[in-house]
């Protein structure tokens, strides 16, 4: 096992100090949505905020059917105590897995790849692609080795010598050529606990990483430095792109967290990020949600370990199921082509309960949503009077719909007769005949 430069993730899955990471400004207006439609309609409202689109900048899902690799996970302890997830997923982001720079190169002339080797092998055996975030400076390489961070002192500072960064990136890329498909340059650059340097310095780190990855493994793809949070936080990404950062990325990454709100709260943030991408000439690149999740109630009493802040909303099992499904549905429908859930085995935010060693109901909702979406085309998502409808097409062109109510209330809802719906399926796997109307609540229901 690598020399540990972080607090023990085998107990928490996040560092104890990670609560500070979500203290960034959030704003979300409580006015309810009047109407929202995918595709070239202007002036509609999301949560009281105008959602402006045009023929040249219409909100639309990614082209084609939903692939397996849209469904991504973080898994903290897959190489030690956590069984491999039984839910369908195709992508794994290696954050909080002891595979960052301080673990791989704990001293200038000592490397330790044991844990990363194991993780990559596990992914290969399951046909899962790997996204490896690059970053966190080891104390010996840090520009400010005594500076506090969300991990160990010095980790959030940029490296003092760019040659050390170049050597680190080159060594990793050469070792895992053809095995690690994606690299991400640093994590959550708008939080001082993760990155305390300047954007100009970050741009140089991205340039060097781009150069080394293109040289060492031309097939590998690069994800931009991630930003997290609602409110004005997308401006961090906008500033980075304004400096030319988009030229060093194949994919634009963002962490669409809305930990105090419903999944629908991420939609204005997605809009803002897409506007920045258009403004800086990178709208043709994929947009990924490289980290997001909620605080989910455990199946047994367990200590909080810092991943979720005390003022976050803690979801009960039923609410967690609905949030998981809605987040995955809306992410794809609004142009996000990969969604890495944080995290499978986190004590605060896990889909898997590490105390009882069993999946939570939210894990079953994740699997059910993946079965509904995979290999189907999402043609539209609309909302009217707080009821959302997502339309899907089967490979044989049969039309299906997924519906839910955004509010926490349940009420009878009339099924449009023109849909000719003959049966329904819930996130729990229950099936039946919907009839002319049925009780619809916040949990999505598939209608066929």
Average pLDDT on 33-48 reads 34
How far the first Cα of the chain sits from its last, in Å, is: 50
Mean pLDDT of 128-137: 98
Question: Which pLDDT score, from 0 to 100, does residue 68 have?
Answer: 98
Cα separation, 378 vs 159, in Å, equals 44
Three-class secondary structure of residue 176 per DSSP: coil
Given a cut of 80, is residue 29 above it in pLDDT? no
pLDDT band for 11, please (50, 70, 90 cuts): very low
Please determine, for residue 316, whether its predicted confidence score (pLDDT) is greater than 80: yes
Give 41-107 as a 3 state SS string. CCCEEECCEEECCCCCCCCCCCCCCECHHHEEECCCCCCCCCCCCCCCCCEEECCCCCCCHHHHCCE
Give yes or no for a contact between 441 and 404, defined as CB atoms under 8 angstroms apart: yes
CB of 134 closer than 8 Å to CB of 226: no
**Region 88-107: what's the mean pLDDT?**
98
Tell me the per-residue pLDDT of 140-151, one tens digit each, with 9 for 90 and over: 999 999 999 999
The mean of the pLDDT values for the chain is 88
Confidence of residue 45 (pLDDT cuts 50, 70, 90): very low
More confident call, 160 vs 16: 160
Does residue 187 register a pLDDT over 50? yes
Question: Which 8-state DSSP code applies to residue 177?
Answer: T
- The pLDDT of 189-206, averaged and rounded, is 98
* pLDDT > 90 in the chain, percent: 84
pLDDT for 19 beyond 80: no
pLDDT in tens, 261-309: 999 999 999 999 999 999 999 999 999 999 999 999 999 987 777 689 8
Flag whether pLDDT at 17 surpasses 70: no
How do strand 35-37 and strand 377-384 relate by DSSP bridges? Answer: antiparallel
Average pLDDT score over residue span 401-429: 96
Does the pLDDT value for residue 89 go beyond 70? yes
For residue 56, pLDDT over 90 is answered with: no
Tell me, what's the pLDDT at 48?
Answer: 34
Predicted confidence (pLDDT) per residue in 385-412, tens digit: 999 999 999 999 999 999 999 999 999 9
Residue 121 has pLDDT above 50, yes or no: yes
The pLDDT of 76-96, averaged and rounded, is 97
Separation between Cα atoms, residue 434 and residue 235, nearest integer Å: 45
Contacting residues for 215 by C-beta, under 8 A, at least 6 apart:
170
The pLDDT of 308-325, averaged and rounded, is: 95
Q: What angle do CA 374, 380, 381 make, to 5 degrees?
A: 95
Domains in the chain and their CATH numbers?
16-30+62-375 (3.20.20.80), 380-447 (2.60.40.1180)
The pTM of the full predicted model, rounded to 2 decimals, is 0.90
Q: How far is CA 77 from CA 99, 116, 250, 345, in A?
A: 11, 12, 29, 7
Per-residue pLDDT, 305: 72
Summarised one tens digit per residue, pLDDT across range 323-368 is: 999 999 999 999 999 999 999 999 999 999 999 999 999 999 999 9
């Amino acid at each position: 096992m690598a020399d540990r430069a972080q607090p023990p993730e085998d107990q928490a899955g996040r560092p104890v100090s990670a609560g500070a990471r979500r203290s960034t400004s959030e704003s979300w207006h409580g006015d309810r949505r009047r109407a929202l439609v995918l595709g070239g309609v202007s002036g509609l409202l999301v949560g009281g905020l105008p959602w402006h689109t045009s023929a040249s900048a219409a909100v639309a899902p990614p082209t084609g059917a939903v692939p397996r690799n849209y469904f991504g996970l973080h898994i903290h302890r897959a190489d030690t105590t956590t069984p491999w997830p039984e839910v369908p997923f195709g992508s794994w982001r290696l954050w909080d897995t002891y595979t960052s720079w301080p673990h791989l190169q704990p001293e200038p002339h000592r490397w330790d790849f044991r844990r990363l080797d194991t993780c990559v092998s596990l992914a290969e055996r399951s046909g899962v692609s790997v996204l490896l975030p690059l970053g966190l400076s080891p104390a010996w390489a840090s520009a400010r080795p005594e500076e506090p961070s969300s991990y160990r002192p010095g980790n959030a500072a940029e490296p003092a010598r760019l040659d050390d960064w170049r050597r680190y990136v080159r060594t990793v890329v050469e070792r895992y050529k053809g095995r690690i498909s994606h690299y991400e340059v640093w994590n959550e650059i708008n939080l001082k606990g993760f990155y305390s340097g300047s954007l100009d310095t970050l741009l140089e780190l991205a340039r060097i990483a781009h150069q080394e990855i293109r040289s060492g493994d031309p097939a590998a793809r690069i994800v931009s430095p991630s930003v997290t949070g609602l409110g004005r936080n997308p401006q961090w990404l906008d500033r980075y792109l304004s400096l030319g950062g988009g030229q060093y990325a194949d994919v634009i990454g963002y962490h669409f967290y809305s930990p105090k709100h419903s999944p629908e709260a991420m939609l204005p943030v997605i809009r803002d990020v897409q506007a920045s991408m258009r403004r800086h000439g990178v709208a043709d690149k994929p947009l990924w949600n490289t980290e997001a999740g909620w605080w989910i109630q455990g199946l047994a009493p367990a200590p909080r370990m810092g991943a979720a802040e005390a003022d976050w909303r803690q979801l009960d099992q039923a609410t967690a199921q609905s949030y998981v499904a809605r987040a995955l549905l809306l992410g794809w429908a609004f142009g996000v082509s990969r969604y890495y859930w944080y995290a499978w085995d986190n004590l605060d935010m896990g889909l898997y309960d590490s105390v009882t060693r069993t999946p939570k109901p939210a894990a079953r909702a994740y699997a059910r949503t993946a079965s509904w979406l995979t290999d189907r085309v999402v043609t539209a998502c609309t909302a009217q009077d707080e009821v959302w409808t997502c339309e899907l097409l089967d490979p044989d062109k049969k039309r299906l719909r997924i519906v839910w109510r955004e509010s926490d209330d349940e009420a009878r809802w009339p099924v449009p007769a023109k849909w000719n719906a003959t049966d329904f399926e819930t996130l729990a796997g229950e099936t039946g005949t919907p009839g002319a109307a049925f009780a619809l609540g916040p949990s999505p229901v598939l209608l066929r």
